[in-house]
Amino acid sequence: MMGKLIFDEQLDPMENKFNNEIFNRSRWFIEDLVSGDYIDFCQRYLGLPGYEEMAELIKTYFSEVENPARGLRYEDPSTGRRILYQLVDNTKKRTLYKLVDNSKPRKVEPIVVLDRRPKDEQL
């Protein structure tokens, strides 16, 4: 089946910003859809929130509405209140990796398997 989407009205305020005479709104709509950038596509064409607005909505939801992951029960030890989300302080240094001193030999425990491997017929 072949067909063409025809959009009479402007979908994106930034479309055809160079006033191209052969601009095709349907072509750019399908190209943006197939690109895989769904958040940008939904923001541009469907009026849904973008990255920054969605992050603010998520923060608002977790701080004011409820915690959807009911199994996670993090509590602040000083206040006793539940922690629903946590902002990371980017001013403090964080340890992302730890260097291993290879100048001295390390003691490695041998791995001993005591169970016998089952025969192929039993698999």
pTM, full prediction: 0.45
Mean pLDDT of the chain: 76
Confidence check: pLDDT of 119 > 80: no
35 band by pLDDT with thresholds 50, 70 and 90: very high
Q: Which residues contact 12 (CB under 8 A, 6 or more apart)?
A: 44, 45
The domain spans of the chain are 25-104
Question: For the packed helices 25-34 and 38-46, what is the interaxial angle rounded to 10 degrees?
Answer: 150
| pLDDT value at residue 49 | 92
Q: What is the mean pLDDT of residues 75-104?
A: 72
